[in-house]
Every structure is written in structure tokens, then in C-alpha cells.
Amino acid sequence: MGWEWRIFCGPANADVARKLFVECTGWALAANSQGLKSRDDVYFPVSASTGIKKRGERAKWEIKQRLEVDKDTGAENWEKYSYSQEDGFHIMCEAGMKLKWLTQDDISHLEARVTNDESVLTKKSRVSKVSKGLNFEYAEIISVHREVETTAVSLSVEGDIDRIKTFLATELGSQIQSLGAPCGYPEYVVKIAETKTT
């Protein structure tokens, strides 16, 4: 998968995020989100560095591991594997153990979460465009955990780490950084799952 720098911000910053995406890519976003691709993913929180999800409507499981974090920018280097076999969840867990990304305790907790449907549903509407040798993504996200909805917007930059650093050092990159701290999907999902319901 490679290097990614991502932020999540609340709906109050959605207009600013959209404007910055347009400035980064030159691609105009419709005000009504027309043209965004939609997909629902189901995440099973593990940790900020390990992500497990069931992708879209297909029975496709994915495991994602953060390999390193750039100390200057907070960009994260990720590796990801997908399993679409009928027994994809168990095959994915076995692979996670072999790669030392998951412990037996992690798997026990995951099995309980899957059995009890302790998940975070994310409804994503997103678009990605290549510009300046980098892939920019804008996403509108509704996350549902224990019937509580959280709305957010995410901006990300993917590609070569030196190009990401160069972009983030620009005025436009600084404006994007002002919207929030770097955070990958696994960490965001853990935060959603830990949010207390009142």
C-alpha cells in the first residue's frame, strides 16, 4: 500500500476541506457530493497500528498494518492484505499471526467482536485524483457504532514519502494540516469505538 498522510475533521470544516481538495487537484467537487463513489465498510477495532475490516458488500476481509510513522509529518507507511475466500476471516487471522501483526489475544477479541457485532460501520462517499505525482483523496464519512452516528470529512495524500513531505511543507499543505492531526483509519475507528455513549 505504501505511504499515506490522512486527517479526519468534523463537518464544521467540510467546506474548507472541499476547497483545499479542489486547490490540490484542480477537480471541482459538486456542492451536493454528486460524483463521489460510495461504499460501506465494517471495521472491527484492534489498535491504531492494525486495522481489520470487511470491505463493501463482498465477503472480502482486509488486514492492514502500520509499518512506520514519519517523525516529521506523521505520515504512515502501511501494508495491506485481502482475503475473499469463504473462510476469509480465519485465513486472515492466521496470516496476521504469521506476520506477527496479531496476537492470540487480538484474535480472541476479534472473534468476540464479530460474533457480537461489535463493529464500526463506515459509510464513505469519496473521490481520489492524482496531481503533482501524489494521490489526493476527499471523503465524507458517517460512522455508526452502537447506533450512534458520527460525521466526519477526511483528506489524504498518498505516494512517495519525499513528495508527501515536500507537499506538506507548502502553504497549501500547511492549510490542510491545520484541519487536524494525522490519523489513519485504524486509529480513527478505535477512537469511534471508545467514544462513550450517553
pLDDT tens readout for residues 22-69? 999 988 766 656 678 999 999 999 999 999 998 877 668 999 999 999
Burial readout 158-170 (b: 16 or more C-beta within 10 A, e: otherwise)? bbebeebbebbee
Prediction pTM value? 0.89
pLDDT single digits (tens) 127-166: 999 998 999 999 999 999 988 999 999 999 999 999 999 9
pLDDT score recorded for residue 162: 97
What pLDDT is attached to residue 30?
62
Strands 2-9 and 76-83, bridge-based pairing = antiparallel
25, three cell numbers: 487537484
Which residues lie below 8 Å from residue 46, measured CB to CB, with a gap of 6+?
52, 102, 106, 109, 110, 186, 190
